[in-house]
């Protein structure tokens, strides 16, 4: 999934770094979970995993990937849909997704607010989704909610379907990476016919837990072997960048405003997006949570200076900094040329006293 700070490509590096230092345990807490990729990786390794994030769509993914521990059976849905194509290799999830992919499109909140057809009265009609895809998203989202209201889905099944929808949407969005703006011309991806994709579930034998809160409120209750922190690196809050995914996940008809149709996010602001509060928040976590190892992923361009991070973490134990260098191509202001820049992904490892 396209998500700023997604650690998918760094998972093996992170794991290798910890393994080499014999940093192991039974429990893992993913404090800023985002796509839940890191939590998923450690779930597969057999850890009891807890995860948390301010974003509700992240919580849906955490529920499906981290908390859920079985294949969905959709016992109450399958009898309602035409299952003629049932054969031994078609899973219940595939059958339900196939049904959802073929239901009648409807004009709902997404069509009315994020497609050209639905926003033609605006001075700048919003071009997030093609008219057809926006209507398909509305019909699928409405059907999932109707099934839930009629008690036809287990909680696991509900979040698995929402996660399939959320994961599929980024393949059809007319954006250059985040939802804070739409493209002024159609990207090829946005013109393809919207189709839900199945997701890959992972299981372990643990009672994993997931939260949709400001993780700072959990600090006093955390007791884990490895506490993994992957906070925002800069002053840009996540909620406005992913406002449409949040609205599709909640489907709560929010009041929206501005050119991009942004929902309110005053309750989803992170103390890590402010250079005055970020170090204080880091100190609070390192001091008050109970853990053996605290692992902080950060970036050499982040708003907390490396020296200060080391100063804060060193108050509570022995700190090591490991850096993975990479080259980033950065467009200049008018996008005419590109410059190379050395960036490093950082891993701060604190072994608590
Ligand atoms: C760098 S991203 C994490 C990426 C994640 N490791 C992944 O691989 O997808 C930071 C995440 O922290 C979340 N976040 C920021 N401040 C938070 C807070 N105080 N409590 C909970 N989540 C927070 C953001 O919503 C965002 O999803």
Q: Is residue 346 part of a domain?
A: no
Distance from the CA of 337 to the center of ligand 1, in angstroms? 32
Q: How many CA atoms lie within 13 A of 272 on its CB side?
A: 23
Q: What is the pLDDT of residue 339?
A: 67
Q: Is residue 77 part of a domain?
A: yes
Q: What is the pLDDT of residue 84?
A: 67
Q: What is the mean pLDDT of each run of 10 residues along the chain (353 residues)?
A: 94 96 98 98 98 98 98 95 69 95 97 98 98 98 98 98 97 97 97 97 98 98 98 97 98 98 98 96 98 97 97 98 79 53 91 96
Q: What is the pLDDT of residue 343?
A: 82
Q: 6 in ligand 1 pocket by Cβ < 6 Å?
A: yes
Q: What is the pLDDT of residue 336?
A: 46
Rounded distance between C-alpha atoms, residue 28 and residue 191, angstroms = 41
- Number of domains making up the chain: 1
Q: 32 in ligand 1 pocket by Cβ < 6 Å?
A: yes
Q: Is residue 159 part of a domain?
A: yes
Distance from the CA of 269 to the center of ligand 1, in angstroms? 11
Which residue, judged by its Cα, is nearest atom 5 of ligand 1? 34
Q: Is residue 59 part of a domain?
A: yes
Q: 270 in ligand 1 pocket by Cβ < 6 Å?
A: yes
**Domain residues for 63?**
8-229+236-275
Q: Is residue 306 part of a domain?
A: no
Q: What is the pLDDT of residue 89?
A: 64
Rounded distance between C-alpha atoms, residue 159 and residue 156, angstroms = 5
Contacts of residue 81, defined as CB under 8 A and 6 or more positions apart, other chains included, come to 95, 96, 99
Which residue, judged by its Cα, is nearest atom 15 of ligand 1? 270
Tell me what percent of the chain is helix, strand and coil, each rounded to the nearest 5: 40, 20, 40
Q: 229 in ligand 1 pocket by Cβ < 6 Å?
A: no
Distance from the CA of 183 to the center of ligand 1, in angstroms? 25
Pocket test for ligand 1, best of 11, 49, 53 (most atoms within 8 A of CB): 53
Q: Are 57 and 252 in contact (CB under 8 A)?
A: no
Distance from the CA of 272 to the center of ligand 1, in angstroms? 9
Contacts of residue 236, defined as CB under 8 A and 6 or more positions apart, other chains included, come to 273
Q: Is residue 320 part of a domain?
A: no
Q: Is residue 324 part of a domain?
A: no
Assessment of whether the complete model's pTM goes beyond 0.85 = yes
Rounded distance between C-alpha atoms, residue 333 and residue 164, angstroms = 36
Distance from the CA of 225 to the center of ligand 1, in angstroms? 20
Atom of ligand 1 nearest to the CA of 32: 12
Q: Which two tokens stand for residue 103?
A: 């239901």
Distance from the CA of 180 to the center of ligand 1, in angstroms? 17
Nearest to 268 by CA among 65, 58, 77: 58
Q: Is residue 309 part of a domain?
A: no
Distance from the CA of 205 to the center of ligand 1, in angstroms? 26
Pocket test for ligand 1, best of 1, 219, 222, 232 (most atoms within 8 A of CB): 232
Q: What is the pLDDT of residue 200?
A: 97
Q: 272 in ligand 1 pocket by Cβ < 6 Å?
A: yes
């Amino acid at each position: 999934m396209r998500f700023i700070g997604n650690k998918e490509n760094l998972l093996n590096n992170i794991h290798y770094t910890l393994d080499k230092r014999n940093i192991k345990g039974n429990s893992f807490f993913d404090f800023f979970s985002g796509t839940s990729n890191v939590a998923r990786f450690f779930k597969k390794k057999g850890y009891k995993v807890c995860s948390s994030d301010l974003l509700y769509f992240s919580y849906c993914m955490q529920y499906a990937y981290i908390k859920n521990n079985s294949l969905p059976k959709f016992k109450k849905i399958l009898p309602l849909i035409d299952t003629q194509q049932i054969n031994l290799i078609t899973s219940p999830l595939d059958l339900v997704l196939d049904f959802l992919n073929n239901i009648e499109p409807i004009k709902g909140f997404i069509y009315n607010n994020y497609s050209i057809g639905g926003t033609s009265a605006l001075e700048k009609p919003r071009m997030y989704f093609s008219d057809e895809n926006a209507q398909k998203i509305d019909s699928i989202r409405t059907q999932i909610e109707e099934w839930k209201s009629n008690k036809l889905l287990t909680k696991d099944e509900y979040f698995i379907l929402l996660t399939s929808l959320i994961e599929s949407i980024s393949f059809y969005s007319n954006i250059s990476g985040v939802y804070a703006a739409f493209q002024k011309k159609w990207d090829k991806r946005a013109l393809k016919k919207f189709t839900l994709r199945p997701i890959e579930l992972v299981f372990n034998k643990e009672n994993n837990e997931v939260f949709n809160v400001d993780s700072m409120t959990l600090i006093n209750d955390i007791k884990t072997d490895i506490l993994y922190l992957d906070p925002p690196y800069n002053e840009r809050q996540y909620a406005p960048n992913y406002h449409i995914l949040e609205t599709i996940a909640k489907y709560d008809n929010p009041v929206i405003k501005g050119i991009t149709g942004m929902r309110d996010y005053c309750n989803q602001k992170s103390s890590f997006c402010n250079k005055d509060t970020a170090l204080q928040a880091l100190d609070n976590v390192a001091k008050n949570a109970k853990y053996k190892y605290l692992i902080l992923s950060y970036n050499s361009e982040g708003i907390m200076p490396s020296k200060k991070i080391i100063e804060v973490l060193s108050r509570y134990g022995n700190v090591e900094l490991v850096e993975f260098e990479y080259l980033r191509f950065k467009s200049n202001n008018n996008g005419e040329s590109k410059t190379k820049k050395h960036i490093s992904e950082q891993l701060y490892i604190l072994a608590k006293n």
